[in-house]
Each structure stands twice: as C-alpha cells, then as structure tokens.
Amino acid sequence: MVSVGGVVVRAHCCPLSTYQKPMILATFKMISDVTCIRFVKHTVEEDYIIFVKGKGWVSKVGGMQPLYYGRGCQVENICHELMHTLGLYHERTRFDRDRYVHINWKNNMKGKDLIEEKNCIKKTANTLNVMYDIESIMHYGPYFFSKNQKPTMELINNPTSRMGQKTKLTNLDIQKLNRLYRCTDIIKYKF
Ligand SMILES: [Zn+2]
C-alpha cells in the first residue's frame, strides 16, 4: 500500500456513513493522485489524523490532530482542511501577501472572530519558493467574513483575477505539497 519513497500519513475515521466514506476517500485520492503522499489506515502509531464529525470543518496545522467535518462538508472542503493538516496555512497569511492582496480590516466581521483576524495575521512559514497563488484552494475569496457586503480582500496588481476557490488543487498547490514532502523525484506532476 505504501509507494517506495513516498510519504505516509496515517488516518483514522470514526464510523462513517455511506455518504461520508466515499467523500473522504475521494479527498485522499485528490492529493495522492498528484503527490507521493499516501494515506493508510491508522492502527497503533502515535501520530495520525483523526476524522471527527463536528460543526463545520476545522483543522489545525501540523502535529497529531483531529480534522472536524460537518454535515455540509464536501470533498473540496475536506481537501482544504487536509491541506492544513499536511502543514499548509491560508495563502493570505504569507509574509509577502501585501504585495498581492490588500486586507480591508474595516470590512471584516468582528467577533466572528478573532479567529478570522488570526487567519489574516502573517506567518513566517516557508513559502517553499512557490509563487503567491491567488487561486489556491487555501486562498479565501474577496468577500469571506465580510460584515457589510464589501470586500475583505482586494487584489493589488490584477483586480480582474479570480481570488480563491474551493473546487480543485491548483498547479501551485500541487507544487507546494510536492516540495514540502520532497516528492519531486518520485512522481510526475500532472500539470
Ligand atoms: Zn482553512
């Protein structure tokens, strides 16, 4: 089940419905089809991801951790959360984001939270030498968390580009995963 030279992520799922199981398997496939990352069933290992039914979908970045998924959770949402679990932050928290997007703090919903504000705070994480990706599955759209129907984020250089999406991994998303997990020599990119 483990490909030679690949990276294995152990995963454990609570009892899954006939609706949830194919979704989670499809999410694994979405990532393993284009990287050397393989998901295998967790047994006794210390480090693993546990899928937990919860409200909405939330996960943390790095470490041993739960990935919460809710009723309306689709493959792409789970993929976004799984990307966090695999070590990736929201694109707009990159230290160089101000060259690409402008955050309209005044339009951000207050109270929804500090979490949202935290989501905007720049991090010093390694960019893996991959360009800023406005269309990344890890990039929010321009109106996310708006309290007044005005954009919470605007593009600086190319205002007509599409910002954020939750439908697919972009080429740059794939590149990031492959660099982070050093897959480059193992698989061919599906570019
Ligand atoms: Zn997220």
The rounded distance, in Å, linking the Cα atoms of 119 and 108 is 11
Residue 185 tokens, joined: 């020599």
**Residue-wise DSSP of 14-50:** -S--TTHHHHHHHHHHHHHTTSSEEEEE-SS-S--EE
Q: Active site includes 46?
A: no
* pLDDT at residue 25 greater than cutoff 80: yes
Within the chain, all domains assigned CATH 3.40.390.10 are found at 7-87, 90-167
Active-site residue (options: 46, 81, 116, 117): 81
Residue 42 CA to ligand 1 center (angstroms) comes to: 24
For domain 90-167, the CATH class is alpha beta
Residue 36 CA to ligand 1 center (angstroms) comes to: 22
For domain 7-87, the CATH class is alpha beta
Residue 57 CA to ligand 1 center (angstroms) comes to: 9
The rounded distance, in Å, linking the Cα atoms of 25 and 23 is 5
For range 4-21, the mean pLDDT:
68
Residue 4 CA to ligand 1 center (angstroms) comes to: 30
Residue 82 CA to ligand 1 center (angstroms) comes to: 9
Q: Which residues pair with 146 in a beta bridge?
A: 108
Whole-model pTM?
A: 0.83
Residue 84 is assigned to a ligand binding site: yes
| Pairing of the two strands 37-41 and 153-155 | unpaired
Q: Which of 29-38, 61-70, 118-127, 140-149 has the lowest mean pLDDT?
A: 61-70
Q: Determine the residue type at 38.
A: R
Greater confidence, 33 or 123?
33
* 129: Cα within 13 Å, side-chain hemisphere: 3
pLDDT for the residue numbered 95: 92
Greater confidence, 108 or 185?
108
* pLDDT at residue 11 greater than cutoff 90: no
Residue 42 is assigned to a ligand binding site: no
